[in-house]
């Protein structure tokens, strides 16, 4: 089932995909800093080093009760918890019930203590603010942004045929050839992407720019090549590993460098949002004093240095996904904490070029820059989308969000793409679009992508084009459902986390390895440090040797890639099957003032008509409404309601308009947290029908995404009854409607309302065609709807087993850090593997800061980032439907931020603090 994640939610069944079983006799206790939500595991702990950690594995997990006096920052709590013999004999279920009981008792006790303290404080302070004033002050303290979101400024593109002049005059089959930029540009033109970009005029780099990272001696040597004859050029090239020069190479190198810096400066000046540089020669192997690996000047490293030294940029993230390690870039910033360098590269324990010891995972920087150099070495060939996305979800994104860069530079080598004979990896062109999309959530969207390697021209061209589509904020192509990441990449991820854990709080959910044998990881390589004794590394004493002038392909590569052309039909099929959707509107929206008619007959009820009015008015104020396709509202039909609800219940609701006020009040007492009026039924029909119109608009290709500003909400409504302010389950009906009318096979419902969506869960509990992920306040079952159905143990039944994921928070006041971490570690890995055809969000904003019912602290920016991550799924077909949310300021800004992101605006920067230990 879902194997793309490292951190799991425990499930009740022994054979369910999410189940956890004991790995050894010893039970080990540690309150895991899930980042995604300590309470998700409900006082359980997982030793991930002891596992293969993927769904549908039969691996063993450890678990133990966390002491009630546990302090997550106290290292003394890392000791083993030795259970008594009596406790050991208890069944798993009995132990779980005891843990829950203790948790509830502790929670109740804490509530009483807080209540007593509040009463004492109110008595002592006669001028104590009322609740409304308190929340207003809290909102102000958290600095909720009232500014109009910045619209997309455009995507810059650098390309110049002048750079085609750099070529190998004595070896026409040399991999680094002019077609590497001409063909990708041609493909971008065929897809009409070039005409949508802002063309950036090419510039020549200056000598001062070159000297930011290279010696004067090297600069003069390269400059002299423009005057050399062929024999002199050959003699010059022989002194460097995998390098050639002709009389135009120096000029081309200056143009590549200057154009990349110009593109970066345009981004920093906010003349464009992001950009792509289709340039050559590449740069990330070029050392301070030596050319190397097809590279002349280190373009990205020079640009980063220029940004932090001369342009006032404080923090730069360099992401290098070229299949070869960018050893030169690493060396240039190894002791500079202003630049975080991240590289995912083929390594094979050091047996792959450049065969350097420092390309391994344990080289993490030095001095103040410890933890700011991240190597993710891939020790097998054939890595696919699932492996690269796992690295992004579990390593890169958590660190990048914590680092919070001002600028992202991408050393975009496409030699890890399918069909590339140098990389021998299997990453699809579409995957590069997804990786680019995730990076665009950082640095206010300031992402500068610079071409490095890539030698299968067809695969390279498609990959570059889909990267550019992502920068243009087109929907990410739908990836097929994924299988679990390989054991090899799992081992690498754990090793990377092992060495980075002391420096990044996002990895504190992982326990430290212990010395005793019972605590060792099932992956042998995780229990020790490199290097392997049988690997011969390239060392500095080899620098003086002479290198061959011509490139020789290994015999097996020649056979598979050139004679058989094994991957050509595979690449052609991938291109043909990839739907490059771009509907005429990015986002559609529905709102109808008639839904205000449902209201309580007394003032002060939180589910107030102003909830939707304030949201809609804020959309108008911020200029969002005029950018959306306005969808007509409508009433749902009875047959549509009966996709989820019983005919008897629908008939009961139909009778509401005929009842007296007294009868309505009396009837409301039969339900949980419900008020009724004569307009309730009509408004509920309008809410459901309007959402269905949004679904229809998106699935017929009129808009990429949708927003439904509707009420009453729906996710608590059961098949046969209303509850929790909800009457008809709007989102559940929408999922069934999409399946019945449009034949969808996989729908994701993401419910981020602070209350567990019990009604939605019950509808799809045995259905694997709908993946339901709930993030909610649980408090050991004491928080509304106060049912164990919200427990992390509830994973579905029958065919739906494993398709119900509850991320149930039990401790503290969760905010951006916890929710974003939950997305990185749980939501996105599972959702990416499931690969839904439609994403429906039960968008309750009662987890937002200042909400009187939720008590949580998510900012509008936090909701924007969650929306951005979800929009990588389902060809961008993401629909938000309003559920709860009762602070009018919070909900209006939060939903507007979500709409803004769906419209293609950049996510505002998010300062992620350390997530709560619980």
Chain center to CA of 136? 31
Whether 545 shows a pLDDT value over 90: the answer reads no
The candidate with the shortest Cα–Cα distance to 57, out of 10, 11, 93, 20, is 20
Q: Tokens 């958290």 — which residue?
A: 142
Q: Which residues are catalytic?
A: 285, 716
Q: What is the DSSP string of 233-251?
A: HHHHHTTSTT----TTHHH
Q: What is the model's pTM?
A: 0.85
Please, what's the b/e burial string for 277-306 (b: 16 or more CB within 10 A of its CB; e: otherwise)? bbbbbbbbbbbeebbbbbbbbbbbbbbbbb
Q: What is the DSSP letter of 76?
A: G
Strands (E), 791-885: 804-809, 838-843, 878-882
Residue 48 has a pLDDT of: 29
Residue 624 has a pLDDT of: 97
Task: Give ∠ CA 157-628-902 in degrees, rounded to 5.
Answer: 55
Residue 337 has a pLDDT of: 98
Q: How confident is the model at residue 119 (pLDDT cuts 50, 70, 90)?
A: low
Whether 418 shows a pLDDT value over 70: the answer reads yes
Strand order in the sheet with 878-882: 629-630, 585-590, 703-708, 878-882, 838-843, 747-751, 770-777, 804-809
Q: Per-domain residue ranges for the chain?
A: 156-512+547-575
Q: What is the DSSP string of 303-340?
A: HHHHHHHHS----EEEEE-SSS--HHHHHHTTT-TTEE
Residues 46-98: pLDDT tens digits?
Answer: 222 322 233 333 232 222 222 333 233 333 333 333 444 455 445 545 655 66
Q: How confident is the model at residue 99 (pLDDT cuts 50, 70, 90)?
A: low
Query: How would you classify the pairing of strands 407-412 and 316-320?
Result: parallel
- Token digits for 19? 């189940």
Higher pLDDT, 604 or 129: 604
Worst-scoring range by mean pLDDT, 45-59, 479-493, 544-558, 693-707? 45-59
Q: How confident is the model at residue 812 (pLDDT cuts 50, 70, 90)?
A: confident
Please, what's the b/e burial string for 27-54 (b: 16 or more CB within 10 A of its CB; e: otherwise)? bbbbbbbbbbbbbbbbbbbbbbbbbbbb
Candidates 3.40.800.20, 2.60.40.2310, 3.20.20.150, 3.40.640.10; correct CATH number of 156-512+547-575? 3.40.800.20
Percent residues over pLDDT 90 in the chain:
74
Q: What is the DSSP letter of 417?
A: B
Q: How confident is the model at residue 531 (pLDDT cuts 50, 70, 90)?
A: confident
Mean pLDDT across the chain? 86
Residues facing 239 on adjacent strands: none
Backbone CA torsion sign across 192, 197, 199, 204 = negative
Residue 126 has a pLDDT of: 38
Residues 749-795: pLDDT tens digits?
Answer: 999 999 999 999 999 999 999 999 999 999 999 999 999 999 999 99
Residues 553-592: pLDDT tens digits?
Answer: 777 777 777 766 889 999 999 999 988 889 999 999 999 9
What are the phi and psi torsion angles at 774 (to 5°)?
A: -110, 125
Backbone CA torsion sign across 32, 37, 42, 47 = negative
Whether 115 shows a pLDDT value over 50: the answer reads yes
Rounded average pLDDT over 129-137: 50
Higher pLDDT, 389 or 71: 389
Residue 528 has a pLDDT of: 79
Rounded average pLDDT over 483-494: 94
- Token digits for 796? 């579905």
What are the phi and psi torsion angles at 855 (to 5°)?
A: 75, 15
Residue 63 has a pLDDT of: 25
Residue 912 has a pLDDT of: 80
Residue 540 has a pLDDT of: 56
- Token digits for 334? 């190894």
């Amino acid at each position: 089932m879902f194997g793309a994640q490292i951190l799991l939610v425990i499930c009740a069944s022994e054979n369910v995909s999410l189940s956890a079983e004991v790995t050894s006799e010893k039970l080990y206790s540690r309150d895991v800093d899930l980042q995604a939500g300590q309470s998700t595991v409900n006082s359980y702990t997982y030793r991930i080093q002891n596992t293969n950690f993927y769904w549908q594995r039969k691996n063993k997990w450890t678990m133990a009760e966390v002491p009630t006096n546990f302090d997550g920052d106290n290292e003394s709590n890392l000791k083993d918890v030795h259970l008594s013999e009596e406790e050991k004999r208890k069944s798993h279920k009995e132990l779980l019930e005891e843990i829950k009981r203790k948790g509830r008792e502790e929670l109740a006790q804490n509530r009483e203590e807080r209540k007593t303290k509040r009463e004492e404080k109110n008595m002592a302070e006669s001028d104590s603010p009322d609740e409304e004033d308190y929340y207003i002050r809290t909102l102000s303290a958290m600095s909720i942004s009232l500014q109009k979101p910045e619209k997309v400024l455009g995507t810059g593109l650098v390309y110049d045929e002048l750079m085609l002049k750099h070529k190998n005059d004595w070896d026409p089959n040399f991999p680094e050839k002019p077609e590497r930029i001409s063909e990708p540009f041609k493909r971008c033109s065929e897809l009409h992407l070039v005409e949508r970009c802002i063309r950036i005029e090419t510039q020549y780099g200056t000598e001062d720019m070159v000297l930011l990272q290279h010696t004067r001696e090297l600069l003069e040597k390269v400059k002299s090549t423009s005057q050399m004859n062929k024999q002199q050029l050959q003699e010059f090239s022989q002194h460097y590993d995998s390098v050639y020069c002709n009389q135009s190479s120096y000029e081309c190198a200056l143009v590549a460098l200057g154009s990349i810096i110009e593109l970066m400066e345009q981004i920093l000046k906010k003349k464009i949002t992001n950009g792509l540089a289709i340039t050559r020669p590449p740069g990330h192997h070029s050392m301070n004093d030596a050319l190397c690996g097809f590279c002349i000047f280190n373009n990205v490293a020079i640009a980063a240095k220029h940004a932090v030294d001369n342009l006032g940029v404080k923090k730069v993230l360099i992401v290098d996904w070229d299949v070869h390690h960018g050893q030169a870039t690493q060396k240039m910033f190894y002791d500079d904490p202003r630049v975080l360098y991240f590289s995912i590269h083929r390594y094979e324990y050091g047996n792959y070029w450049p065969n350097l010891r420092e390309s391994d995972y344990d080289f993490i920087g030095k001095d103040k820059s410890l933890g700011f150099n991240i190597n993710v070495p891939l020790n097998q060939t054939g890595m696919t989308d699932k492996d690269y996305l796992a690295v992004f979800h579990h390593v890169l994104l958590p660190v990048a969000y914590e680092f919070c860069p001002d600028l992202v530079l991408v050393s975009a080598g496409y030699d890890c793409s399918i069909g590339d004979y140098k990389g021998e990896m299997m990453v699809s062109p579409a995957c590069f679009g997804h990786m680019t999309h995730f990076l665009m959530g950082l640095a206010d969207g300031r992402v500068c992508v610079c071409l490095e390697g890539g030698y299968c021209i067809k695969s390279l061209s498609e990959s570059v084009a889909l990267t550019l589509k992502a920068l243009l904020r087109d929907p990410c192509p739908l990836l097929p459902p994924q299988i679990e990441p390989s054991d090899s990449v799992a081992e690498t991820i754990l090793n990377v986390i092992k060495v980075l854990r002391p420096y990044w709080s996002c990895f504190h959910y992982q326990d430290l390895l212990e010395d005793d044998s019972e605590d060792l990881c099932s992956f042998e390589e995780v229990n020790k440090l490199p290097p392997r004794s049988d690997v011969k590394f390239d060392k500095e004493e080899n620098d003086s040797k002479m290198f061959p002038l011509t490139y020789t392909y290994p015999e097996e590569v020649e056979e598979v890639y050139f004679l058989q052309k094994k991957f050509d039909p595979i690449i052609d099929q991938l291109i043909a099957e990839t739907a490059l959707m771009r509907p005429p509107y990015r986002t559609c929206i529905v709102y109808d003032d008639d839904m205000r008619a449902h209201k309580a007959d007394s003032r002060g009820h939180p589910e107030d008509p102003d909830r939707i009015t304030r949201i809609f008015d804020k959309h108008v104020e911020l200029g969002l409404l005029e950018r959306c396709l306005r969808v007509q509202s409508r009433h749902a039909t009875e047959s549509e309601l009966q996709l989820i609800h019983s005919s008897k219940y629908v008939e009961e609701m139909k009778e509401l308009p005929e009842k007296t006020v007294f009868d309505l009040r009396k009837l409301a007492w039969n339900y949980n947290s419900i008020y009724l009026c004569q307009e309730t039924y009509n408004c509920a029909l309008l809410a459901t029908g309007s959402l269905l119109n949004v679904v229809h608009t998106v699935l017929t290709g009129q808009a990429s995404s949708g927003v439904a500003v509707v009420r009453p909400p729906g996710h608590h409504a059961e098949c046969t009854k209303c509850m929790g302010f909800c009457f008809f389950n709007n989102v559940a009906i929408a999922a069934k409607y999409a399946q019945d009318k449009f034949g969808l096979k996989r729908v994701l419902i993401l419910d981020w309302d602070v209350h567990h969506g019990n009604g939605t869960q019950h509808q799809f509990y045995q259905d694997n065609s709908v993946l339901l992920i709930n993030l909610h306040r649980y408090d050991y079952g004491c928080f509304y709807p106060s049912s164990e159905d919200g427990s992390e143990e509830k994973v579905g039944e029958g065919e739906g087993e494993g398709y119900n994921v509850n991320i149930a928070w039990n401790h503290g006041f969760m905010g951006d850090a916890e929710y974003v971490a939950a997305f990185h570690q749980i939501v996105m890995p599972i959702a990416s593997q499931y690969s839904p055809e439609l994403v429906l969000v039960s968008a309750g904003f009662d987890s937002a800061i200042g909400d009187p019912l939720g008590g949580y602290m998510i900012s509008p920016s936090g909701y924007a980032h969650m929306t951005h991550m979800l929009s990588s799924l389902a060809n961008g077909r993401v629909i938000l439907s309003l559920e709860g949310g009762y602070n009018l300021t919070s909900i209006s800004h939060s939903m507007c931020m979500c709409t803004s992101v769906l419209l293609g605006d950049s996510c505002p920067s998010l300062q992620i603090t350390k997530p709560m230990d619980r």
